[in-house]
């Protein structure tokens, strides 16, 4: 039994992420937790009405949240009839990241699946503002970010960029191995050649990773460095037909290197595929 958390703001991209998750786990027994949070802004001033009006405002927003979740569930039930799937709705007066952290622990969540909305900048395209907040706040659960217009396709080619500068823990990459084995997919390990050769430490980490992935189909790609890491990854995705990208979220690791790249270099990076963020 898997517990899948689906944060939603009732937008097109969050609906698309929910549909993707349902298809991705259609062969498995799952409980999908549909989450909407609300935090009505109440401005404190000497002109503000009594707290009764504040309570009415919260009641109204809560009703909208609950109604939105009901409508979303009706939409899902119209298109999907997998008997092994069940759904729970959670409407909460809380910050999104705080509620997610609480639910991850309370409901033993296996995956968080969230939608990303396209924009002109790297951060928004690659991750999305809500997704950025979730990734920064939630460290103990895999997060799958699905682009707004991405239509579900079985992920047979999964990309895994790494600089081999961190040692690998099999528990960290277990969700990736599970996903790969489930679909009979291939893990495409990608290293950007920034140095003439790997250090002894990097070689050791590479060997450990290759041992961990030996139970599934895998291959190692060494990519030349040009322009920026985001450009290399974009080329890698297109060149090898990558259908899902996986990254480990180490502190000061490869994912943060991408986000810290100068805007001029990173702004053109548009990933049209889902991103699986693995917690360290």
Q: pLDDT in tens for each of the 280 residues of the chain?
A: 999 999 999 999 899 999 999 999 999 999 999 999 998 554 444 444 444 455 566 678 899 999 999 999 999 999 898 999 999 999 999 999 999 999 999 999 999 999 987 544 344 444 556 777 888 888 889 999 998 889 999 999 999 999 899 888 999 999 999 999 999 999 999 998 888 899 999 999 999 999 999 999 999 999 998 777 878 888 999 999 999 999 888 765 555 555 544 433 343 345 679 999 998 8
Architecture of domain 2-147: 3-Layer(aba) Sandwich (3.40)
Give the model's pLDDT for residue 196: 83
CATH class of 157-247+260-266: alpha beta
Which residues, at least 6 apart from 260, have a Cβ–Cβ distance to it below 8 Å? none
Which residues, at least 6 apart from 91, have a Cβ–Cβ distance to it below 8 Å? 36, 37, 38, 62, 65, 66, 69
Query: How many Å apart are CA 156 and CA 183, to the nearest integer?
Result: 7
DSSP β-bridge partners for residue 115: 146
Environment class of 122 (CB within 10 Å of its CB; exposed 0-12, middle 13-18, buried 19+): buried
**Smallest Cα–Cα separation from 154: which of 7, 30, 2, 27?**
27
Going from N- to C-terminal start, the domains of the chain cover: 2-147, 157-247+260-266
Evaluate whether 2-147 and 157-247+260-266 have a shared fold.
yes
């Amino acid at each position: 039994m898997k517990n899948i958390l689906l944060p939603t703001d009732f937008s097109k991209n969050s609906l698309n992420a929910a549909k993707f998750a349902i298809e991705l786990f259609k062969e498995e027994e799952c409980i999908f937790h549909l989450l909407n949070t609300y935090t009505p802004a109440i401005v404190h001033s000497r002109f503000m009405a009594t707290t009764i009006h504040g309570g009415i405002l919260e009641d109204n927003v809560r009703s909208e949240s609950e109604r939105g979740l009901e409508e979303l569930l009706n939409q899902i039930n119209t298109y999907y009839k997998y008997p092994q799937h069940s759904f729970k709705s959670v409407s909460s007066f809380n910050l999104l990241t705080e509620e997610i952290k609480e639910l991850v622990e309370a409901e033993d969540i296996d995956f968080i699946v969230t939608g990303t909305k396209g924009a002109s900048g790297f951060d928004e395209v690659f991750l999305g503002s809500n997704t950025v907040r979730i990734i920064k706040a939630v460290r103990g659960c895999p997060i799958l970010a699905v682009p707004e217009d991405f239509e579900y396709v079985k992920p047979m080619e999964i990309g895994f960029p790494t600089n081999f500068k961190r040692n690998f823990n099999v528990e960290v990459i277990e969700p990736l191995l599970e996903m790969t084995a489930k679909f009979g997919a291939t893990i495409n390990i990608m290293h950007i050649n920034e140095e003439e050769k790997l250090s002894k430490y990097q070689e050791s980490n590479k060997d450990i990773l290759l041992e961990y992935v030996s139970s599934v189909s895998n291959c190692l790609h060494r990519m030349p460095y040009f322009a920026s890491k985001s450009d290399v990854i974009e080329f890698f995705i297109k060149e090898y037909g990558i259908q899902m990208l996986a990254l480990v979220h180490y502190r000061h690791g490869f994912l943060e290197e991408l986000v810290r790249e100068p805007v001029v270099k990173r702004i053109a990076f548009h990933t049209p595929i889902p991103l699986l963020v693995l917690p360290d």
